Amino acid sequence: MNAPTAQAHRTGWILLLDRLLDITVGIALIGELLVVIGNVLGRTFIDAPLLWSDEVATLALSTIAFIGGAVAYRRDAHISVRTIVNMLPEKTQAVVLAGADWVVLGLGLLSFFYSIGLVEARWEELTPILEMRGAWFAVPLSVGMVMLAVYALVRLYEQPRGAVLAAFVAVLVLAAPFVLFGFLADAPMANGSAISIALLLVLVTVLLGLPVGFALMLGTILYLHIGTFVPLIAVPQNMVDGVGRFVLLALPFFIFAGFIMEGGGISRRLVELIAALVGRLRGGLMQVMVVSMYIVSGISGSKAADVAAVGLVMRDMLDEEGYDRAEAAAVLAASAAMGECIPPSLAMLVLGSVTSLSIGALFAAGLIPAAVIALCLMALIYFRAAKFNTRQHGSRNWPLIRRLALRAIIPFSMPALLFGGIFSGFATPTEISAFAVAYGLAIAALLYREVNLRQFGRMIAEASTVSAMVLFTLAAAQTFSWVLSAAQLPHSLAALVATWHDNATLFMLASITAVVILGSLLEGLPALLILAPLLLPLAPDLGIDPLHYGIVLLVAMGIGAFLPPLGVGFYIACAVTRAPVDRASAFMIPYVLILLIGLLLVTFVPWFTLLVPGLLGFAS
């Protein structure tokens, strides 16, 4: 077999494997979507709920998270920070990236080995309704870890041999002392030293380009190996349990809805109407961008989908009217940062899933704080408008506005469906997210006819990949949170807070600083995953409402995620607007300052956060 034929053969079986895994994860997503909708309709209209829906949901989530997580790794879709790596010489970059793949290969093989023990341990467990063996919930993890190892080998094979070999030696040398300590030491390392090394390892590996989920897994394994000598079966066990909650289905469903909005023309119709209404204000299309992000964020739930939906629609408009792309990127990034506390933000869903906060209460609490920050941004744009040097407009084109308004009536009904369903008690946020998918698909495919069968299949694959990345990272964060608790880090933080006595102001400012900085380093969401479960329980002791504190963390996380030079969201905004990063970073400075001012307003005026939840009966 000659070289080109062998290469084609290898490519062929990899593509076939990708397709099979895509189909598996897609079936899990669509199947669970139908089950959730069927459960709500059966419960509401014929008093016959599908009592087994939670059990099927657990299996679907496990399939999406772990089998889909392997596919996401193959497509390089996992959250990673490569700002520092990209500054290195080309040959050094190759070694560092190959080292990350060696680490993923090791994690996959190790997790697979210990997952077999988990499958065996849960074989005799039976679910209460379907009497399904508990082992089935762990099987997707085992399969996913094997696929992860296969994809890591494929990636290593595709890289320069010298870099791969050098990376292998480097990883081996760095890992050897810790491996030997765990096997040869008579007693575990001191708790403080072990958890400090684990935290440092997570931070360093993330900054060196290892995807965040894998860095959290690595930190967990290291701590268990040197700090406790606890059997590593705890890692797959906590990962499976971490995604086994019905409420997490809202994540893939809202992400799916975001892709349908973007691909089905729903977002475009909303933005066009807002442009016609708001575009004549001082500041023009920059004001449109802020208002559009407020509206669109309230439907799609996904940060990437928000930025793409608004940025792609407005990019040509901005160019035609002479706006500076760098300033446009700064406004888009600042608006998206504000959007993290607009329901159904992905970060809100994650925060509700890793803390005791009600997702419905978070949805209600975020509306006014987001509006406050949006008004701050609009005020800054108003005063900076003279610098834009754009074409002046006459009066509004009312016939055009009426035509666009008629086109946008149905898209605007999506948020009404979301909030009406949740606050009326018709369904939970998770169940409503399933109806959002179905409703959006009906609009895009049947009414607008902008989605055909092939496009629908592509949307399923894209939504499954993004959902898998988020769920896999959540699963890894669950194991790391468990380790932090085992290391008594929350108790240490509580002791530190106790030294502040009644200084709630200092606690809030320290929290904001920590989340903004860590959010910039770790792409936002991982910072929330790590810090929120630790910090939120401390707030009530200082007289801070947990719901208010949760919204403050969300806004701070959003600012960090879009904060140059490390905030990944900022680079997404630059890519969408085709703006040079260096100039956009300079333009971003006043917008970051106004975001921080808005955050301080929200932080120290709790009324903004608690008014709507109080009116709707959510206040604590």
pLDDT attached to residue 50: 82
Summarised one tens digit per residue, pLDDT across range 374-389 is 999 988 988 887 666 5
pLDDT digits (tens, 9 = 90+) for 537-588: 888 888 889 999 999 998 888 888 787 766 667 776 776 777 776 778 888 8
The pTM is what? 0.77
Residues of the chain where predicted confidence (pLDDT) is lower than 50: 1-3, 6, 8-9, 394
| Confidence at residue 321, expressed as pLDDT on a 0 to 100 scale | 73
For 186, phi and psi rounded to 5 degrees?
Answer: -80, -25
pLDDT at 597: 93
Ramachandran area for residue 544 (φ above 0: left; ψ -120 to 50: alpha; else beta): beta
H or E element, residue 7: helix 3-45
pLDDT at 501: 52
Confidence at residue 282, expressed as pLDDT on a 0 to 100 scale = 74
Reduced 3-state DSSP string for 20-88: HHHHHHHHHHHHHHHHHHHHHHHHHHCCCCCCCHHHHHHHHHHHHHHHHHHHHHHCCCCCCCCCCHHHC
Q: What is the pLDDT of residue 105?
A: 95
Distance CA 424, CA 436 (A): 16
**Alpha carbon 37 to its chain's center:** 24
In this prediction, residue 40 carries a pLDDT of 83
Torsion of CA 450, 452, 457, 460, to 10 degrees: 30
The tokens describing 462, both together, are 């894209």
Alpha-carbon distance 115 to 373, whole Å? 46
- Phi/psi of residue 48, nearest 5 degrees: -135, 75
Compute the radius of gyration of the chain from its Cα atoms: 24
Containing 259, the helix (H) or strand (E) segment is helix 250-263
